[in-house]
Each structure stands twice: as structure tokens, then as C-alpha cells.
Amino acid sequence: MKTAYPFWIAGKSTVSDEIARVKHPTGELVAQHYVPTQADVEKAIAAAWAVRHEAAATSAATRAEALMHVSTQLQARHEEVARIITDEGGKPLMWSRVEVNRAISTFRWAAEEARRFVGELQRIDTDPTSVGRLGIIRRFPLGPVLGIAPFNFPLNLVAHKIAPALAVGAPIIIKPANYTPISALILGEILSETNLPEGMWSILPISREATKAITTDERLPILSFTGSDTVGYEIQKAVPHKHVILELGGNAAAVVLDDWSSVEDIEFAATRIAMFGASQAGQSCISVQRVLIHDSLYDKLVPKIVEKTKALTLEDAYNESTVVGPLINEAAAQRVEEWVAEAVTAGATVLAGGTRDGSYYAATVLSDVPVDAKVAACEVFGPVIVLAKVSSTQEAFDAVNNSDFGLQAGVFTHDIQTAFLAQSTLEVGGVIIGDVPAFRADQMPYGGLKNSGVGKEGVRWAMEDLTHERIMVLTGLEL
């Protein structure tokens, strides 16, 4: 174990007198890091504010080269970084490797987008009074960004904040999750090897209280937060004059319609639903949580889902084949246990799982769950799926929309008209046809409606969210 990881102030490796311990979800000490002082935090904010104009003026080549360097170095350090993700968060190694791959792609996409983020021309001479005029529209950073990242994807969700900001020339301060800060600090090591202006980025593993104090700082006009809806909306209410981007929770639904009926269809749907209801202990905002099955398929599909869920046994996160590892800590597993017990008391039936061992909670399938039970109405953020019958496409889509959240939904259908109906009807940010809602490609727009947040991730979409349009009108041209 490394003695202690430094934090990063204005691109510089920094230490302090205080050291924090990072533990694996099972309680084992896996790393330590230095904790920034209040003076360190002030230095980072002042540097971000001071460099904002220089950062915005950096060339596309400078930004793209820095971002591509991060991508290539993550590739070179792939296994090391994957094991760090497993160390600090308990994510099974197979999923940690997937996360590193995704972060490599995220920075590569940002490098590519930095080169083509050029704006547009607009014809102004559409009326006689505007003859000879042409508009040139470019986008400019709104200002320095405070990015607050969660524990469940400690590398790639930090990447989704850093990469778009650097791509548009916006200084950024990253506050990683307290449980999983080391992945972000490793990114600092790699970023320090680039030629970005001093002050363009800082990585501060500070407490929630210290974070709350800086959210109101006027020198950080952009806040990008990923986490719970409770905390996210508290931040938004505290700074109504700031540009706030919130990627919050969900209780994602997978709909299986009557045309998804072949033996191969049933096998595929059951495999995907079980896998992505339980993978990474269900700690993803688009994990499969609700499964709405057409009544003509219910008796065929449910036994398959149960069978495949039971096969996802709890194992050590470092085993190559482990799918379901521990939750982030024992308190999280206890909460899931309590929610399942509450549903059972209200009439639910446990078809698989339903047991806890410390910070591990078994992959669980429930049926006959009241719609107002927490496991159906709220975000479980654990390896629990809730099954329900529907008798029609409309009933299924109504059930999807009967939620305070609207992040993504999956619809298993072969019918193209139903696919377009789903896109136009479902109150979510993304509709995945022929698969579970847990699918995400890092270049696509990602974000939800209702309590799932405001704004978008996905590199280009985030770049637009971090910038504003400014038009210049040229006069007296012969067009």
C-alpha cells in the first residue's frame, strides 16, 4: 500500500498534515490520502478563477493532446487502475476493467470533440433589412466548474466531468466521493504530465461539509453534481443563480412485450435482466429495478430470471468471474435488507435472494410488490429487481411513467412502431430497445427527467451544457 496519495492543487501535487484512510467495503484498509486544508481549497478556487481566460484561449490542439494523453496513459495503466477501483469501492474486477475501458473512451471522445467543437454560421439576410449580414455563432465556457462525483463509478464519472470541461477550456475542480477518492487522484498523476495551464484543474478529496461551503463560492459559477436527488436538489436550491447540472437517481424499468416470445428471446431477456439487476451490487442509477412483463410471457420468463439470478452467487470482488460484489458499506446493505423486509411485510414474495452477509446482499427477485413500497417506488441502489405483470403495451408504458424518476427505460420488442411509440411516450431521458435500461455508451446524451435531474452528460452534450452561445454579426457582405 502506498504511504499516502497527494491531492492536486492547480495541477500541482500537494500534501498536508492530515491523512484520511480509505477502506474496502469489507472494512480492510486499502489506501490513504492527504486531506486539503481550507487554505488549499482557497488556493485551488483562486487559481481556477485566475486562469479562466487563459484556459478558454487554449488551442484545440492543446486541449485535445492533453485529453488524448490521459486516454493513452489510462490504457497503459489499465490493470493497476482497475484494481484500485476494486480496492476502494468493492466493484468486482470484471466491472472495474470495463470502467477503465469506458474512461479511456471518454477521454478519447473528448479529445476528438475538442477538435470539432466549432460553432456554426447563420444566414441573417432572410429579411430585406438584413441583406449583407452573416452570423457566426461560437460557444464559450460559462466559467470554472465544480464537479462533485459519486462512489459507484469513481473513475468514469470523474472522467465525465473533467473531460468535457477541459475540452471546452473551462477550469475544473473535482471533489471525488469520500469512499472512493483514489481513482481521481490517479487521474491527477496523469493530468500533471500534460501541458495544460496551471490552475486549469484541481482534485480535492475534502469532506461533505467543506464541499457544501464552496458550492456557494461565486468564482465557481457552474456546478456539476452526480449523486442522490436529495443532495442534488439541496445544492440547486442553495445556489439558484448558478448553472447547476444534476445527474441523479432512477428506478429503471425493463418492459418485456408480447412479441418478444421466442425461446431465444426469453433466454436473452432473462440473462440481461438478471445480470444488470445485480451487477456491481445494483449500484448504478440505471440498474434494472422494475421488470414489467406481458402476462402472456410471465410464466415463461419469470422462472428463467429466477434461475439466472440464483446463479449470481456472492463472491470475492477480486475473483475473475464475480458479478455481484459487496455494496459500498454494511450500512448500505442493511438499508436494502430493510426495504426488502418492508416489501415482504406488505405482501411481496421473495423468489430469489433476500439475504445479507455483512456488506454483501444477495441478488434478489421479488414479486407481488405493492407499487408504493420503497423497492418499487424509490431507487433501491442495490441488487433487487421487482417483477410485475402487464396486459398491454399501454399499461406497461403507463407503469414506467408512474414514477418520480425518469432516467432510462428498456423495452424488449421487435416492433419498430412500438419502438418509436416508446420514445415518444416514455418520460425518460433514454429508451433502449431490445435490451435493458442499463446500457450506456459514453458518447451518447445521458440524463433524465423529473427527479432524475437536469442537464446532460455524454461528452459533446456536456460540452454544450458547460458553454454559452455568442453570436457575431458581420455587416456589409456580398453573400
Write down the domain spans for the chain.
7-248+453-471, 253-441
Q: Name the nearest CA neighbour of 204 among 224, 178, 225.
A: 178
Q: How far apart (Å, rounded) are the C-alpha atoms in residues 387 and 393? A: 16
**Mean pLDDT along residues 130-148:** 97
Is the per-residue pLDDT at 153 higher than 90?
yes
Q: DSSP states of 10-62 as a string?
A: TTEEE--S-EEEEE-TTS-EEEEEE---HHHHHHHHHHHHHTHHHHHHS-HHH
Q: Name the nearest CA neighbour of 50 among 195, 175, 200.
A: 200
Q: Which tens digit of pLDDT belongs to each residue from 392-414?
A: 999 999 999 999 999 999 999 99
Q: How many of the other CB atoms lie within 10 Å of CB of 321?
A: 9
- Collapse the DSSP code of 153 into the 3-class scheme (helix H, G, I; strand E, B; otherwise coil) and give the result: coil
Q: Which tens digit of pLDDT belongs to each residue from 285-302?
A: 999 999 999 999 999 999
Q: How far apart (Å, rounded) are the C-alpha atoms in residues 428 and 140? A: 29
The band of 343, judged by pLDDT with boundaries at 50, 70 and 90, is very high
Q: Which tens digit of pLDDT belongs to each residue from 108-127?
A: 999 999 999 999 999 999 99
Rounded to 5°, angle at Cα 310 from 305 and 313: 135
Contact of 355 with 362, CB cutoff 8 Å:
yes
Q: What are the phi and psi torsion angles at 219 (to 5°)?
A: -80, -5
Task: Spell out the residues 6+ positions from residue 116 whose beta carbon is closer than 8 angstroms to its own.
Answer: none
**Mean pLDDT along residues 339-344:** 98
Mark whether 379 is an active-site residue. no
Q: What are the phi and psi torsion angles at 309 (to 5°)?
A: -70, -45
CATH class of 253-441: alpha beta
Q: What is the CA radius of gyration of the chain?
A: 23
User: What pLDDT is attached to residue 315?
Assistant: 86
Q: Which tens digit of pLDDT belongs to each residue from 204-234?
A: 999 999 999 999 999 999 999 999 999 999 9
Q: Which tens digit of pLDDT belongs to each residue from 249-271?
A: 999 999 999 999 999 999 999 99
Contact of 36 with 16, CB cutoff 8 Å:
yes
**Mean pLDDT along residues 424-446:** 97
What residues pair up with 418 in beta bridges, in sequence order? none
Q: Name the nearest CA neighbour of 441 among 418, 416, 455, 458.
A: 458
Q: How far apart (Å, rounded) are the C-alpha atoms in residues 238 and 236? A: 5
User: What pLDDT is attached to residue 158?
Assistant: 98
User: What pLDDT is attached to residue 381?
Assistant: 97
User: What pLDDT is attached to residue 133?
Assistant: 96
**Mean pLDDT along residues 60-85:** 98
**Mean pLDDT along residues 364-370:** 98
Point out the catalytic residue in the list 88, 99, 113, 285. Answer: 285
User: What pLDDT is attached to residue 20?
Assistant: 97
- Collapse the DSSP code of 210 into the 3-class scheme (helix H, G, I; strand E, B; otherwise coil) and give the result: helix
Task: Spell out the residues 6+ positions from residue 125 whose beta carbon is closer than 8 angstroms to its own.
Answer: 131, 132, 133, 134, 479
Type of residue found at 184: A
The band of 417, judged by pLDDT with boundaries at 50, 70 and 90, is very high
Mark whether 338 is an active-site residue. no
User: What pLDDT is attached to residue 313?
Assistant: 87
Percent of the chain beyond pLDDT 90?
A: 97
CATH topology of domain 7-248+453-471: Aldehyde Dehydrogenase; Chain A, domain 1 (3.40.605)
Q: How far apart (Å, rounded) are the C-alpha atoms in residues 6 and 181? A: 11
The band of 1, judged by pLDDT with boundaries at 50, 70 and 90, is low
Which residue's entry shows cell 471546452?
168
Q: Which tens digit of pLDDT belongs to each residue from 36-62?
A: 999 999 999 999 999 999 999 999 999
Joined together, the cell numbers standing for residue 261 give 416470445
Q: How far apart (Å, rounded) are the C-alpha atoms in residues 337 and 340? A: 5
Joined together, the cell numbers standing for residue 253 give 424499468
Q: How far apart (Å, rounded) are the C-alpha atoms in residues 396 and 419? A: 13
DSSP-assigned letter for residue 420: H
User: What pLDDT is attached to residue 479?
Assistant: 84
Q: Name the nearest CA neighbour of 107 among 146, 81, 87.
A: 81
Contact of 253 with 290, CB cutoff 8 Å:
yes
Q: Name the nearest CA neighbour of 270 among 301, 247, 246.
A: 301
Point out the catalytic residue in the list 88, 99, 113, 247. Answer: 247
Average pLDDT, the chain: 97
Q: Specify the DSSP element, H or E, that contains 294.
A: strand 290-294
User: What pLDDT is attached to residue 51?
Assistant: 98
Q: Name the nearest CA neighbour of 274 among 343, 364, 168, 376.
A: 364
Is the per-residue pLDDT at 72 higher than 70?
yes
Q: Which tens digit of pLDDT belongs to each residue from 5-43?
A: 999 999 999 999 999 999 999 999 999 999 999 999 999
More confident position, 287 or 321: 287
Task: Spell out the residues 6+ positions from residue 59 whose beta carbon is closer than 8 angstroms to its own.
Answer: none
